[in-house]
């Protein structure tokens, strides 16, 4: 969603802020803007569409200074337009604001301000922030921001500058990401690390309800009551290249190819030489595990699909009942969560508001919260009792790929850890899974060599507009993920369903204009899937089959087939999803879609 970048320091701010905004493009946006403090005034330029559109109108070298705040907007209140784009300013022109999130009570404040003569130019909730700060401003920006924020309900990260105090930026957050970067000759605010990684690796992760005052030389952080607080500087050790395309056409295909490494890194160090599992960040004891009678896995989108597979894995290995829920639904139903519940939140970004709110609800009800998160220091991580990090590295493409496979690895590791502590797993079975996991990175590298073949199949079907994904057991969750990948980047109407459920209604849609991608990756369910494939082909639909290398028999029943390396049935989801990601990628490429930034989507969804 919206991206914020601000800089104050010795250097010229415009280039740094624009460069930072470009690195936040992956979050999704429809307009962009920048405010710069120049000669005691705030100059603002903004434009609808891509950042390149904004660059066309800010070329003048005189339009620059040492303090600037910039923004990429993903419309919530009001259409995408230059008028609604951020920054917004107060009527006096002295205050400019950028904002990520939603102010839920903005209408009430707007009416009140209108009543006192304030004129509004846009339809946005953000302009209300600027106008309210403007009306409260009495020469001290920090004080005015704190007073204004006390009025807001909702989620926000806000950056503010004032023309009368050009030596400072004030920022504040509640339920939307905000970090501070400590540069060599100045300081930054940003929504995410990649925006400032080229300038600095030293950051503060700002907590909810904290306000930050940045000058070129120092950064002061205050808690909700205005008391100064100290934060540890966090050093980011990502390779800068991992946030760049590195020769690939798109981040998505780069990230697909990074999966063997992501899986290796996530396993590595957690799997000890003696086969035991050390879960850093998790302090669940044998006693804690014995106290758990039920597990909820809650997440959104791709992370939710990892949870569906996680249910199969955990129930099979740990033998504790697992419910999987969509985060936006979880908190609006009467879930049976209590102090015997382990609540597992899965989130790549760790900033998804639906997941965060579900987590808080589970905590209120007494659950122990364990999160599986990729972004270090994110909100979900900070609000959990235990955090288990996926080591996928930064995921930039909106379509999640390497985060998903590393989330799956975490499901296996958590299951094995719990089962071995409970003492209810047979040693031979435990070793079989651990040894199988260790082989996955190499098997995946071998599978990735088939990209060109999958690309050829994609060329055959990219024009089709009705594509189904079917499977049984663990393959159901993988089918959901395959369909989501295809629809979000290629805009094809893709649909996933449990293969056995087809005959209860959906099979009515099968005809010779339908492609069905049938996942038959588990030996134990292979014959049943062949029967389902026969039902489908009898209705003249076309079938592409996905099976293990040793199950070549599938070739007799389908038009196209893709084989994954052999592995035990329990581990096939780690391999089977990858051809589906590659298929979606090449279909979208053939269709000329904007693969890394699909329309209407945002990478980090910080609104409900």
Q: Specify the residue, 100 or 355, whose C-beta has the smaller distance to ligand M6R.
A: 355
* Chain residue whose CB lies nearest ligand M6R: 301
Nearest to ligand M6R of 165, 255 (CB atom): 255
Measured CA angle at 204 (ends 283, 105), to 5 deg: 95
Residue 397 corresponds to which tokens in the numbers above? Answer: 């493409």
479 binds ligand M6R (CB under 6 A): no
Judged by CB under 6 A, the stretch of 158-166, 180-188, 295-303, 525-533 that binds ligand M6R is 295-303
Work out which of 1, 399, 416, 564 binds ligand M6R, going by CB under 6 A. 399
* Shortest reach from residue 169's CB to ligand M6R, in Å: 27
Distance separating alpha carbons of residues 115 and 274, to the nearest angstrom: 72
User: Binder to ligand M6R among 166, 181, 301, 579 (CB under 6 A)?
Assistant: 301
Give how far Cα 239 sits from Cα of 40, 236, 348, 367, 602, Å. Answer: 39, 9, 18, 36, 24
Residue 191 as a binder of ligand M6R (CB under 6 A): the answer is: no
488 forms part of the interface with ligand M6R (CB under 6 A): yes
Identify the sign of the CA torsion 141, 197, 281, 385. Answer: positive
Considering beta carbons, is residue 255 or 561 the nearer one to ligand M6R?
255
Q: Which of residues 9-68 bind ligand M6R (CB under 6 A)?
A: none
Q: How far is the CB of 403 from ligand M6R (least distance, A)?
A: 6
Smallest gap from residue 5 Cβ to ligand M6R (A): 20
Q: Which is nearer to ligand M6R, 136 or 399 (CB)?
A: 399
Going by C-alpha positions, the residue among 547, 549, 565, 567 that lies closest to residue 557 is 547
Applying CB under 6 A, what is the total number of residues that bind ligand M6R? 17
The residues facing 387 across adjacent strands are 371
If the CB atoms of residues 461 and 585 are measured against ligand M6R, the closer one turns out to be: 585
C-beta of 479 vs 604, nearer to ligand M6R: 604
The nearest distance, CB 428 to ligand M6R, in angstroms, is: 35
User: How far apart are CB 352 and ligand M6R at their closest, in Å?
Assistant: 3
Residues in Cβ contact with 304 at an 8 Å cutoff, skipping those fewer than 6 apart = 298, 324, 326, 327, 346
First to last CA, the chain: 12
- Give residues 315-374 in contact with ligand M6R (rule: CB under 6 A): 347-349, 352, 355
C-alpha–C-alpha distance, residues 105 and 19, integer Å = 33
For the four alpha carbons of 412, 425, 480 and 549, in that order, the dihedral sign comes to positive
420 near ligand M6R, rule: CB under 6 A: no
Q: How far is the CB of 479 from ligand M6R (least distance, A)?
A: 15
As measured in angstroms, the least distance from the Cβ of 481 to ligand M6R is 8
- Provide the minimum distance between the beta carbon of 193 and ligand M6R in the complex, in angstroms, as a whole number: 14
> Hey, which residues between 543 and 572 contact ligand M6R (CB under 6 A)?
none
Separation CA 204–CA 429 (nearest Å): 44
Is 603 a residue of the active site? yes
Residue 254: active-site member: no
| 413/434 Cα distance (integer angstroms) | 9
Residue 80 CA to residue 85 CA, distance in Å, equals 7
Which of 122, 400, 522, 576 contacts ligand M6R by CB under 6 A? 400
Using the contact rule CB under 6 A, the part of the chain among 24-32, 240-248, 398-406, 518-526 near ligand M6R is: 398-406
Piece of 22-30, 36-44, 397-405, 426-434 that binds ligand M6R (CB under 6 A): 397-405
- Please spell the DSSP secondary structure of 286-318, one letter per residue: HHHHHT--EEEEEE-HHHHHHHHHHHHHHHHHH
Number of H helices, E strands in the chain: 18, 25
Indicate which residue of 45, 94, 174, 603 is catalytic: 603
Strands 322-326 and 493-498: unpaired
Taking CB under 6 A as the rule, does residue 303 contact ligand M6R? yes
Binder of ligand M6R out of 156, 605, 606, 607 (CB under 6 A): 605
Q: Are 374 and 348 in contact (CB under 8 A)?
A: yes
Beta carbons within 10 angstroms of residue 575's beta carbon: 24
Among 35, 69, 282, 300, binds ligand M6R (CB under 6 A): 300
What is the token pair recorded at 242?
A: 């991992």
**Choices 92-100, 296-304, 444-452, 497-505; region in contact with ligand M6R by CB under 6 A:** 296-304
Question: What is the smallest separation between the CB atom of 183 and ligand M6R, expressed in angstroms?
Answer: 27
Cα–Cα dist 500/516, whole Å: 14
R_g of the chain computed on alpha carbons: 25
Among the options 2, 300, 410, 593, which is catalytic? 2
Say whether residue 292 binds ligand M6R (CB under 6 A).
no
Examine residue 95 and tell whether it contacts ligand M6R (CB under 6 A): no
| Contact window for ligand M6R (CB under 6 A) among 92-100, 288-296, 580-588, 599-607 | 599-607
84 binds ligand M6R (CB under 6 A): no
Query: What 3-state class would DSSP assign to 38?
Result: strand
Q: Tell how strand 179-182 and strand 186-190 pair up.
A: antiparallel
Q: How far apart are CA 370 and CA 283, in angstroms?
A: 10
Helices (H), 202-300: 251-257, 259-267, 286-290
Name the residue nearer to ligand M6R (CB basis): 514 or 606.
606
Give the E-state strand segments of 305-374 in sequence order. 322-326, 341-347, 368-373
Closest approach of Cβ 496 to ligand M6R, in Å? 14
Q: Establish if 587 lies at the interface with ligand M6R (CB under 6 A).
A: no
When asked if residue 406 is in the footprint of ligand M6R (CB under 6 A), the reply is no
* Cβ count within 10 A of residue 382: 15
In the complex, the smallest distance separating the C-beta of residue 566 from ligand M6R, rounded to whole angstroms, is: 28
Tokens of 495: 């649909």
d(CA 537, CA 519): 15
> Could you say which of 236, 398, 408, 498 contacts ligand M6R (CB under 6 A)?
398
* Choice between 303 and 607, CB closer to ligand M6R: 303
- Write out the residues near ligand M6R by the rule CB under 6 A: 300-303, 347-349, 352, 355, 398-400, 484, 488, 601, 604-605
Residues noted as catalytic: 2, 603
């Amino acid at each position: 969603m919206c991206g914020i970048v601000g800089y104050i320091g010795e250097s010229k701010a415009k280039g740094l802020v624009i460069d930072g905004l470009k690195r936040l493009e992956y979050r999704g946006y429809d307009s962009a803007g920048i405010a710069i403090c120049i000669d005691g005034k705030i100059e603002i330029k903004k434009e609808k569409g891509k950042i390149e559109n904004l660059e066309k109108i800010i070329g003048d070298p005189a339009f620059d200074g040492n303090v600037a705040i910039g923004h990429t907007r993903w419309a919530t209140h009001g259409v995408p337009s230059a008028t609604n784009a951020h920054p917004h300013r107060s009527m006096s022109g002295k205050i400019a604001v950028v904002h990520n999130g939603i102010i839920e009570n903005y209408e009430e404040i707007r009416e009140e301000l209108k009543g006192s003569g304030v004129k509004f130019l846009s339809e946005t909730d953000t302009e209300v922030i600027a106008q309210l700060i403007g009306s409260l401003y009495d020469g001290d920006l920090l004080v005015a921001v704190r007073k204004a924020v006390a009025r807001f309900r909702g989620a926000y990260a806000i950056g503010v500058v004032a023309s009368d105090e050009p030596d400072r930026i004030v920022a504040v957050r509640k339920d939307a990401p905000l970090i501070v970067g400590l540069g060599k000759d100045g300081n930054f605010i940003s929504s995410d690390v990649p925006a400032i990684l080229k300038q600095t690796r030293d950051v503060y992760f700002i907590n909810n309800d904290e306000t930050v005052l940045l000058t070129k030389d120092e950064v002061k952080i205050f808690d909700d009551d205005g008391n100064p607080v100290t934060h540890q500087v966090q050093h980011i050790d990502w390779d800068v290249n991992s946030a760049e395309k590195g020769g690939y056409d798109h981040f998505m295909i780069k990230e697909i190819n990074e999966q063997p490494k992501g899986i290796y890194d996530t396993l590595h160090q957690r799997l000890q030489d003696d086969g035991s599992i050390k879960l850093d960040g998790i302090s669940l004891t044998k006693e804690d595990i014995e106290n758990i009678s039920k597990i909820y896995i809650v997440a959104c989108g791709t992370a939710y699909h990892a949870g569906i597979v996680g249910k199969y894995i955990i129930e099979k290995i740990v033998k504790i009942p697992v419910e999987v829920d969509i985060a936006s639904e979880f908190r609006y139903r009467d879930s049976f969560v209590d102090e015997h519940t382990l609540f597992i939140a899965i989130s790549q970004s760790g900033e998804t508001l639906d997941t965060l709110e579900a987590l808080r609800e589970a905590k209120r009800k007494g659950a122990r919260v364990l999160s599986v998160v990729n972004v270090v220091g994110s909100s979900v991580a900070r609000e959990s009792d235990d955090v288990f990090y996926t080591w996928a590295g930064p995921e930039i493409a909106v379509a999640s790929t390497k985060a998903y496979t590393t989330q799956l690895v975490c499901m296996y590791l958590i299951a094995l850890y719990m089962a071995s502590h409970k003492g209810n797993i047979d040693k031979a079975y435990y070793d079989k899974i651990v040894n199988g996991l260790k082989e996955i990175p190499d098997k995946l590298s071998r599978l990735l060599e088939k990209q060109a073949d999958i690309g050829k199949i994609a060329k055959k079907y990219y024009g089709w507009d009705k594509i189904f994904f079917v499977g049984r057991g663990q393959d159901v969750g993988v089918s959901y993920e395959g369909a989501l990948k295809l629809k979000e980047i290629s805009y094809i109407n893709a649909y996933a369903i449990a293969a056995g459920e087809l005959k209860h209604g959906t099979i009515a849609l099968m005809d010779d204009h339908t492609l069905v991608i049938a996942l038959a990756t588990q030996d134990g369910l292979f014959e049943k899937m062949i029967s389902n494939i026969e039902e489908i082909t009898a209705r003249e639909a076309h079938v592409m089959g996905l099976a293990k290398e040793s199950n070549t028999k599938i070739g007799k029943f389908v038009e196209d087939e893709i084989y994954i390396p052999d592995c035990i049935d329990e581990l096939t989801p780690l391999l089977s999803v990858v051809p589906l990601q590659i298929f979606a990628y090449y279909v979208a490429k053939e269709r000329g879609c904007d693969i890394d930034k699909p329309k209407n989507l945002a990478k980090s969804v910080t609104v409900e």
